[in-house]
Copies of this chain bind each other. A is one copy, B any other.
Amino acid sequence: MKLKDIAKEEFYRASYGCAGCAAVLMVRLTIKALGKNSVYVVPANCISTVSCYYPQAPFFVPFTVMAFAATAAALSGISAGFRRRGREDIHVVGLSGDGGTADIGIQALSGAIDCGNKFIYICYDNEAYMNTGIQRSGLTPYGAATSTTPSPCFENRPKKDMMRIVAAHDIPYAATACTSYPLDYMEKVVKASQVNGPTYIHILAPCPTGWGFPPDETIEIGRMAVESGMWHLTEFENGEFRTTYTPKRQRPVSEYLATQTRFRHLSPEQIAAIQKEIDAARD
């Protein structure tokens, strides 16, 4: 895929999202990747909230808001319904936040993967409950301050490894991505759409409001996440993991952490510990 091959048509505009929101960018890229033969299920989160209030309807394709815990079950049902109606050509896509995926939605997700219907479940990960004002989720990284883990007590549990969790379900296809690498992401979305079964894509989507950085840095910060090893671009297919992108330069994580107010309180020792974890994972 090349930039110039991407559809020019815009299918998502004028949402109430923050300026510089990577999640909004994620929606835009997703629909471009799949085209208008796709329908979207979005549970309670930033994306649904900034897209669902009458009379504003920023999705130009079919979209439905779902209860917070219910995304994957809805995907399963829609997929079965379309199958019954001979419309397997329509892509059934979930756009769920980290909270809606790793916490309250994990059961429905686990169940839907087990059930085996065809859908694409996309988890856009901004590492906290942003819609309700920056509370910690199961995907908030160690060290981050949120409104429920305010410093000095900050988040003291590691980030749940959703990729390993869905891989443990023997899902036919899963991948990680980041909004700073749009082509990589869109290719993965297209790949997922060609699988006849449940698929999962986990995309890191930096949030200027929740992480504490200026809106214009959204892309740069996603890049730093990958380059520092805080995030990886991978695929899981046929039971195997694979890295799809290895950054040319590896940056120290301190640079990444320094860009965001949520990490402001970390001591050099704590930062060193995070760096150590990253280095250990690399080996």
Contact = CB atoms under 8 A, between A and B. Distances in A.
Interface of A: 69, 102-104, 106-107, 110-111, 114-116, 138, 157-158, 160-161, 164-165, 167-170
Closest 10 pairs (CB-CB, A-B) = A164-B168, A107-B107, A165-B168, A114-B138, A168-B168, A106-B107, A106-B110, A161-B168, A116-B157, A165-B165
A117 to B, nearest CB: 11
Contact of A110 (B114, B160, B169): B160
Given A106-B110, A110-B138, A161-B168, 11 more contacts: A69-B107, A103-B107, A103-B114, A104-B107, A106-B106, A111-B138, A115-B157, A158-B170, A161-B170, A167-B168, A168-B168
A165 B109 CA distance: 13
B106 A157 contact: no
Contacts of A168: 161, 164-165, 167-168
Contact of A160 (B102, B106, B114): B114
